[in-house]
Chain A
């Protein structure tokens, strides 16, 4: 784990929801062009940790964060770091597919419009490329101007991925991206993730341990707001160092 390859470095991160201490001194590296998975029982803070990485927790009132999150060595919680800029570099796919109630095309180019682009031809090119990147182009190329809400759930989720690819983020955060999908759709998203990691750094939260084992390179196991163990995925699942991790992996807990 050499430092220069770390896309993101979390160190001594504490987060409070009011008085509730939700993350307790969490430290973790995220390496470039690899998939890092966060696992743990419900309420352990894995989604909260993920949402610290693009500062989505800012939206919740009463949240206080201390500690450091470095993105390419610069602290995203420093007052000079522009949060809209951060979110363009660190994109997010949510638990439930959340395409906007706009056309498929308008969904894909949304981030571009937000960033101030108005070159129609360029936007069309990027839209096509992004939809291809999310393996959705063949499904939607004839109905780009239909409402995105007409698509089946798994295609909606891939549209949300395409929407991200359009603005070419450096990191993609995925918050249980398959929990609303059936096994076949889940498999497709997992394959897509493996393809995407060639160009992107991915952090995924999942409560599906098989999923973490299948797709991730590194895994962090969290419990009650603490990072219990962080290691190469294979080691976490075959020879965990911590007893707590072993109990969870073997199904004795949660």
Chain B
């Protein structure tokens, strides 16, 4: 009797697990199936490196979008990575542990704010500031970068803190006992010992920044242009899919799926690098 219910539970869990996994697999297969044939039909070079995006005239070059995505992400990293790592070092090495244990979950909560809210703040506060003080339309590559830079902070801070706290206290004691100052200890031992975790946190932040859609649509302006300055309006890969998918048909629709494939591959590569870096940390102990 008992073994029968054991078996039953096992079967049910197995069915649920398989349906979840197969849903993921199906989505992946669907995107690849819709997108990859188009890429080869249209030509890999034409698709990736042409600047002509005129769906009505059957021109599908996504180079401006790739450029925009890379620049927006690069800008976000330029802001978010140093800021996030600095906050993580400050919270884990200078702030008393009990206070850090309150602040860290609070920062992690920032990750729960819907991206549309970040976008909203960007439109209402950031874009007018940029328009008034720096010029341009305000909704621009720069505002996209700043909003994304802020959005990735919780990821960078939280994972960096975890890896810094995993550094054994004995390393810090050993360093201080040799006459090192707190900053020398951080710079020469703590950061080196937690390097792979910090790198992983930045890469995961990078993945989040590339994949972010809603906030970017709201603040980046969305014109399909090769950006010439940080104040230009740009459209990222994600924004391109989200903006046009609702009315696209035929080749146009396939081109959008192909855009998804490009994003998909990029993010998979980044996440694999991150998980390899994290695993290296585990092995090192």
Contacts and interface: CB of A to CB of B under 8 A. Distances in A.
Q: Do A and B bind each other?
A: yes
Interface of A: 54, 56, 59, 61, 84-88, 91-92, 94, 96, 98-102, 110-111, 113-115, 160, 163-164, 167
Contacts of A87: 176-179
Contacts of A111: 178-180
B192 A110 contact: no
Contact of A85 (B96, B175, B178, B179): B179
Nearest to A89: B179
Contact of A101 (B96, B173, B181, B284): B284
Contacts of B193: 100-101
Given A101-B192, A101-B193, A101-B284, A110 B178 contact: yes
B189 interface: yes
B179 A167 contact: yes
Contacts of A86: 179
A115 B179 contact: yes
Nearest to B96: A61
Given A88-B178, A100-B174, A101-B192, 6 more contacts: A87-B177, A87-B178, A94-B170, A98-B173, A99-B174, A101-B171
Interface in B224-246: none
B19 interface: no
A56 B177 contact: yes
B94 to A, nearest CB: 13
Contacts of B188: 110, 113-114
A242 B180 CA distance: 41
B interface: dominant SS: helix
Given A114-B184, A114-B188, A59 B178 contact: no
A56 B249 CA distance: 70
A244 B233 CA distance: 83
Contact of B176 (A59, A100, A160, A167): A59
B11 to A, nearest CB: 46
B45 interface: no
Nearest to B178: A111
Contacts of A115: 179
B168 interface: yes
Contacts of B192: 100-102
21 contacts: A56-B177, A61-B96, A84-B179, A84-B180, A85-B179, A87-B179, A88-B179, A94-B170, A94-B173, A94-B177, A100-B192, A100-B193, A101-B189, A102-B189, A110-B188, A111-B180, A114-B180, A114-B181, A163-B174, A163-B178, A164-B178
Interface of B: 96, 168, 170-171, 173-181, 184, 188-189, 192-193, 284
A98 B168 CA distance: 9
A98 B178 CA distance: 12
Nearest to A112: B178
Interface centre among B168, B171, B177, B188 (most CB of A within 10 A): B177
A115 B178 CA distance: 9
B174 A84 contact: no
A94 B193 CA distance: 19
A85 B168 CA distance: 24
Nearest to B194: A101
Contacts of A164: 178
B221 to A, nearest CB: 47
Contacts of A110: 175, 178, 180, 188
B181 A98 contact: no
B167 to A, nearest CB: 9
B143 to A, nearest CB: 41
A59 to B, nearest CB: 7
A167 B184 CA distance: 16
Nearest to B193: A101
B177 A100 contact: no
Given A100-B189, A101-B192, A102-B192, A114 B178 contact: yes
Contacts of A167: 178-179
B132 to A, nearest CB: 47
Contacts of A102: 189, 192
A164 B180 CA distance: 12
A96 B173 contact: no
A98 B188 CA distance: 15
The 5 closest A-B CB pairs, nearest first, are A88-B179, A98-B170, A111-B178, A92-B177, A87-B179
B198 to A, nearest CB: 14
Given A85-B179, A114-B184, A94 B284 contact: no
A84 B176 CA distance: 8
Contacts of B179: 84-88, 111, 114-115, 167
Nearest to B179: A88
